[in-house]
Amino acid sequence: MTIQENTIQRFPFGIPLSWYQVAFSDELEPGEVRRLHAFGRNLVMFRGEDGTAGVLDAYCPHLGAHLGEGGEVAGNDLECPFHGWRWHRDGHCTHVPYAKRIPSGARATAYPVCERFGMIFAWFHPRGEPPLYDLPEIPEWRSPGWCADWEHREIELTTHPQEIAENGPDWRHLDKVHDMQMAENDFVFEPDGYGYRWYLGGQVEMGESTLQGVNYGLGLSTFRQGGVHDAIVLTTVTPLEIDRLKFRLSMLSRAPEEEISKQFDYHWAFAAPDFRIWEHKIHRKQPLLCEEDGPIARFRGWAAQFY
Ligand code: FES
Ligand SMILES: [Fe+2]
């Protein structure tokens, strides 16, 4: 191992383009402004009176005030606390209280926002390009028979989004880390544009169940569990810095109400043994693989499009 590999470059890539969850919908009321740190940047999110959320760079293009420190929602725009310039969620300046003319080219850096199934996502692209794929609908959310809202928990981890996404196609760790015995060739990996589908049928602690998942970019992974109690589990990761992220696990279930937190605890406990591995591993650009290691190389070919 070279010194560089060991001490400097745990991850040989930047922050990947993707939709990333920045909040749950109920964490941002109409008229509310909140500071946000993501993508290695200080940001601000706000919700206009029309209910639509926006995410902007935190520092006002005028003289650099932090829009999350005293900024207020004015109609659907965000008003800076310093001189009262107002910014639309698409970044353009809508109002300068003392100027006859808004300077041409007055723009704040804005991030496209997509709010779906009770979560707010912001689009990150390293070169500022517009979204390249769409987020799914989750029909189970707010559906009769399903629990009323997400059961969820989060943790900050010192790792990179690609490491977490690779954890699925790296199905050979399931036995060692998660105590999950897999039949031979049980993992199916199907790349599809900016997403991929996977399927596995294995023995899990709660009895025989089926798992099928769809990933959307490197920020959202979903899987549906059939068997004992139907559930849909979402994992979202949000890069805070290049080597630090927020990991959120969220679940909707059809289990009776008194079973739900137990079922959720099971899913969290299933994920938790990965945390220590993720926080300390490096990304091996040229891993030493054996024939039975599964679709890791195919996964990496797919993941290269996010940089
Ligand atoms: S710094 Fe924002 S309006 Fe002047
Ligand atoms: Fe894992």
Nearest CA owner, ligand 1 atom 3: 83
60 lines ligand 1 (CB under 6 A): yes
Tell me the C-alpha distance between 281 and 207, whole Å.
31
Classify residue 84 by burial, with Cβ atoms within 10 Å: 0-12, 13-18, 19+: middle
Instruction: Give yes or no: residues 61 and 185 share one domain.
Output: no
pTM of the model: 0.94
Best mutation site among 83, 94, 98 for ligand 1 pocket (most ligand atoms within 8 Å of CB): 83
234 and 300: one domain? yes
Expressed as residue numbers, the domain containing 67 is 18-124
Give the model's pLDDT for residue 21. Answer: 98
Are both 116 and 164 inside the same structural domain? no
pLDDT tens-digit map of 119-161: 999 999 999 999 999 999 999 999 999 999 999 999 999 999 9
Q: Is the CB of 78 under 6 A from ligand 1?
A: no
Q: Is the CB of 66 under 6 A from ligand 1?
A: no
Query: Which residue, 45, 80, 51, is CA-closest to 66?
Result: 80
Q: Do 172 and 244 sit in the same domain of this protein?
A: yes
Q: Residue 81 in contact with residue 74, Cβ under 8 Å?
A: no
Are 177 and 296 contained in the same domain? yes
**Confidence band, pLDDT 50/70/90 cuts, at residue 1:** very low
Looking at residue 220, its pLDDT comes to 98
What percent of the chain is modeled with pLDDT above 70? 93
Do 88 and 233 lie in a common domain? no
Whether residues 48 and 114 share a domain: the answer is yes
CATH number for the domain spanning 294: value is 3.90.380.10
pLDDT of residue 7 exceeding 70, the answer is: no
Determine the distance separating the centroid of ligand 2 and the alpha carbon of 172, expressed in angstroms. Answer: 9
Kindly state if the Cβ of 99 falls inside 6 Å of ligand 1: no
In a shared domain, residues 120 and 165: no
Residue 24 placed within a domain = yes
The residue whose CA has the least distance to atom 1 of ligand 1 is: 63
Q: Which position has the token pair 């279930």?
A: 253
Picking from 124, 143, 170, the residue at the C-terminal end of a domain is 124
Per-residue pLDDT, 206 = 47
CA of 200 to the centre of ligand 2 (A): 14
Query: What residues contact residue 91 under an 8 Å CB cut-off, 6+ apart?
Result: 56, 107, 108, 109, 110
Domain count, the chain: 2
| Atom in ligand 1 nearest the alpha carbon of residue 65 | 1
Residue type, 27: E
Residue 159 shares a structural domain with residue 50: no
Mean pLDDT over each residue of the chain, to the nearest integer: 92
Same domain, 102 and 38: yes
Task: Choose the final residue of a domain: 62, 89, 124.
Answer: 124
